Structure 1
């Protein structure tokens, strides 16, 4: 499903509670969306699966006519995100739209004030994480700059809710890393931007790095939980530091700072039997410089892809092999980091999912 935390069974139970909590239109929308995702993963594309999707969309439309407050709003967010997962599995261009729809419900209904409990927290975290990963992809995909602009919206039939791209703030504490990562992604500017060489932009990048560095000390005494282990947060933190440094400087060359961060992350990954988070594996895997390191990343990516059927992990596998090929072929000069990412993201006609 592309969630940040690691409590997959607990998350499954949340979805099932939302689907079977009552007989309201919103609950029906969750159930039919869940059946749609299950069908595409089990049987692959078919007319029957398409019928299930249409049934889920009708149920979602019907539920929205009954209001989006409280539990109904949470259920509609769940239905939107399940349909997003379905579209990712179908390699459909429309998958980011469902994140927009879920984001719109959360902000319009002000769900954090009208509802509470694990169901709401999990849905907000889910949308926030998917939103960040979508924005990360759009930074580097060849059509990313034009994706939200009017001509593309008209051509694709994009819904009006996609005009609001305000990032959701993640939970404080360990999941604050999702919020900071969102700011990191938004901070990356093209050299042609007027602010690129400004002192304020340089200061903002330095502030983000300091926040990521200080985040380590803020949870150093925290021992982690079942759903959010310390190592999970630490790997995201180190990957975010490397991405911030590489993307802002645009260089793939040697760096003492990056080598230090990579070695810390690599030591953690060596102890992992399986690891389900695509973003750290991509960013850290790009830093691999020898066969031994690359074998570890390929092993982790393949294991996660096999056990979860994750489309994102399949994307990471393809991207890492492409980046390593670029590095191995270009021995005369240091490649531009952002151009490398643009090349691997843009090899896909559809925005690749990394969540």
Structure 2
């Protein structure tokens, strides 16, 4: 009886062959998971979503299937985590290259389903984040990753899919990077030769402009703000008074009035105080940007100054603001040493946060704008001023 029992137990034993590398990788992944969830995910630049929740979404996407595209997400997630934890070094770069190779292997498989497309998009955005979070901006690769992800989403018609919170979070993440990138790209390419394929896919996807576009995860007001900025970028004219006929100018002015009305009616979603403050800063930044870019066609100088004053009051109250777009747009409005100190102090507080990336590029661009304003004996054309300064950069700035 004892012998039979022993044989039965032995027959249930399964031998798993593992190498020393497997054990090391297990310990590495086990040690990395808490950092990804609690620290590295906080550095993900998104709008309308909690970065930590986006990080959890990416972990779920990674574990959905055992495919090359899932391996690409895992490698890119580990690469970003390693970069965030230790700075730029060979191991982080090796993981990035491993992710790219996995994406290449996955793309050779002709039968790519929705899950694989989502994984491709997630891996591409993580690689974009890897480039954005490097201390020195030395290439336009972040823009190419966004363009590639948008092309994949467009080809797969994923924009019309509804009901998947993880998909919504990734789509909104792509949309945010695409729109903010569209702003800087539009100014940068004024004096630069732009690769046509990248230009095409830095444009917004049509489904983001539809009123019925909703997200289960993002605050509707944040999507509305981005959608309105997206619309404006599509039709913005640098010198409407000089380039438009009387009829065109009337139609353009009417559109600007409607856009301004929509922006002023957006209300915070009633979430946390900091979340509402960041949302309000975006709203103020877009209001200022639209009016400045329109050559003050709406003649709202008094209103704009009130928006700017409110923004600097919020800057002084905030502990940090890791989103760079509103800091840059509103910071460029600083005309006095006192206001400029408020902006720089906010940046200094933000850079002390473990999840923050460098604001060096923002500070360089803002200080160049301030210098031009100080030296000018008249009000400079806003479009020309930003384009000359952003266009002087060797690479497209990412202000996410």
TM-score, normalisation: structure 1? 0.84
Specify whether residues 317 and 134 from structure 1 end up closer, same or farther in structure 2 by C-alpha distance, changes over 3 A only: same
Structure 1, gaps ≥5 residues long: 150-159
| 1:167 has 2:204 as partner | yes
Specify whether residues 207 and 77 from structure 1 end up closer, same or farther in structure 2 by C-alpha distance, changes over 3 A only: same
What is the CA distance between 1:209 and its match in structure 2?
4.1
Specify whether residues 299 and 177 from structure 1 end up closer, same or farther in structure 2 by C-alpha distance, changes over 3 A only: same
| 1:264 has 2:288 as partner | no
* Residue in structure 2 matching 1:84, options 111, 119, 128: 128
Structure whose alpha-carbon radius of gyration is higher: 2
Q: Report the equivalent of 1:111.
A: 158
Segment of structure 1 superposing worse, 28-37 or 90-99: 90-99
Q: Would the aligned equivalents of 2:179 and 2:230 in 1 still touch at CA under 8 Å?
A: yes
Q: Would the aligned equivalents of 2:190 and 2:387 in 1 still touch at CA under 8 Å?
A: no
Q: Would the aligned equivalents of 2:72 and 2:102 in 1 still touch at CA under 8 Å?
A: yes
Q: Report the equivalent of 1:156.
A: none
TM-score, normalisation: structure 2? 0.75
Q: Would the aligned equivalents of 1:137 and 1:351 in 2 still touch at CA under 8 Å?
A: yes
Specify whether residues 57 and 275 from structure 1 end up closer, same or farther in structure 2 by C-alpha distance, changes over 3 A only: same
Q: Give the 3-state SS of the residue equivalent to 1:141 in structure 2.
A: helix
Q: Report the equivalent of 1:280.
A: 326
Specify whether residues 60 and 5 from structure 1 end up closer, same or farther in structure 2 by C-alpha distance, changes over 3 A only: same
- Within 2, Cα distance between the matches of 1:15 and 1:138? 27
Structure 2, gaps ≥5 residues long: 1-43, 215-219
- Within 1, Cα distance between the matches of 2:83 and 2:241? 42
Specify whether residues 161 and 72 from structure 1 end up closer, same or farther in structure 2 by C-alpha distance, changes over 3 A only: farther
Q: What is the total number of aligned residue pairs between the two structures?
A: 340
Q: Give the 3-state SS of the residue equivalent to 2:294 in structure 1.
A: helix
What root-mean-square deviation, in Å, do the aligned CA atoms of Structure 1 and Structure 2 show? Answer: 3.0
- Within 1, Cα distance between the matches of 2:116 and 2:350? 33
| 1:99 has 2:149 as partner | no
Q: C-alpha offsets along residues 164-222 of structure 1, whole Å, 9 cap, x if unaligned?
A: 44403175530210011112222222449995445335523542442343344353xx5
1:124-203 equivalence runs, <5 A: 124-141=171-188, 146-149=193-196, 163-168=200-205, 169=208, 171-172=213-214, 173-174=220-221, 175-191=223-239, 196-197=244-245, 199-203=247-251
What is the CA distance between 1:229 and its match in structure 2?
3.1
